[in-house]
Chains A and B, each alone.
Chain A
């Protein structure tokens, strides 16, 4: 197996782990996650509640799909969209001087606050998803051993 393919598998599994871990805490506590989304003061309350109920499951499904290596391009697109939204939200909160929890991983009083580290994390996840999308799009025939779709 080529080194490139091994690296792609590592990127895929890394993102899978990140998104499954991020989703688990939010799925367990939608009310706590809603509170943290609401703290950004960017969305009307109905969208806050819908986001708290649905977004963690999008993350969980994306993580599982990457883990299984199925529909990698479609999953990558979703991860790219999510991370663009996260980057906008965190940047906006920082620009407004909000001292709030990120709502990224841990929920309920112990999570990390918004800040440059969270932004860098999201850019890394964004880059990982973009790499997956690119290589799984242009190199289908070379990667038959990695992606069956």
Chain B
């Protein structure tokens, strides 16, 4: 029976890939900025109420991922003026109703809003939200900000759908067309 000969070029390429795996996986494991291997995205941890009684600068040292927060915690942070709410949906959706005081930072167009995301404060919580499950724009925005260097980042996972059950929303009226 004739043996199939693997071309030398493919042998070289395969060896290089195996070498990259042998170096890359341990390097990722020991790197503090390494990515944990897994089948599902790491779920954010729920924040304890006690965390918000501390100055944001203190938590800044300790947080290693965005936290999820509930409606009461959003209220607490808003009342203490310790947070900025970021609406990750489109401008149209934002205009139709958003949490009062929230700033629109659409995740899908994040790089068109560099002026906003570059000027966010480090001494306040950045609370990202969208409609609520299954919408994950708030979570994606939170991770994007977190990876940019903002570490006091929270995700209001229940989102606007939960908020409007008990709270008012703010609407932006479309400017009337100018009459000529």
Contacts and interface: CB of A to CB of B under 8 A. Distances in A.
B24 A57 contact: yes
A46 B23 contact: no
A74 B35 contact: no
Given A35-B147, A74-B11, A108-B148, A53 B16 contact: no
Main secondary structure of the interface of A (DSSP, over half): helix
A22 interface: no
A58 B16 contact: yes
Main secondary structure of the interface of B (DSSP, over half): helix
A44 B161 CA distance: 28
A47 B33 CA distance: 18
Interface string B108-150: 1111100001000000000000000000000010011001110
Interface in B35-56: 35-41
A43 B137 CA distance: 18
Most chain A Cβ neighbours within 10 Å, of B35, B37, B108: B35
A46 B16 contact: no
A108 B150 CA distance: 11
A54 interface: yes
Contacts of B13: 74-75, 77-78, 81
Interface residues of B, number: 39
17 contacts: A30-B34, A32-B33, A38-B41, A45-B38, A45-B41, A53-B27, A53-B35, A55-B24, A56-B24, A57-B21, A57-B23, A57-B27, A61-B20, A61-B23, A62-B16, A100-B111, A109-B148
Interface in A13-62: 27-35, 38-39, 44-46, 49-50, 52-58, 60-62
A35 B144 contact: yes
Nearest to A133: B9
Given A30-B35, A54-B17, A99-B110, 14 more contacts: A28-B33, A30-B28, A45-B38, A46-B38, A53-B34, A54-B21, A56-B24, A61-B19, A71-B16, A74-B11, A75-B12, A75-B16, A77-B10, A100-B111
B1 to A, nearest CB: 28
Contacts, number: 110
Contact of A73 (B9, B108, B111): B9
Contact-residue size bin, chain A (C-beta under 8 Å from the other chain):
35 or more
A57 B20 contact: yes
Interface in A48-92: 49-50, 52-58, 60-62, 65, 71, 73-75, 77-78, 81
Contacts of B15: 74
A47 B144 CA distance: 19
Contacts of A61: 16, 19-20, 23
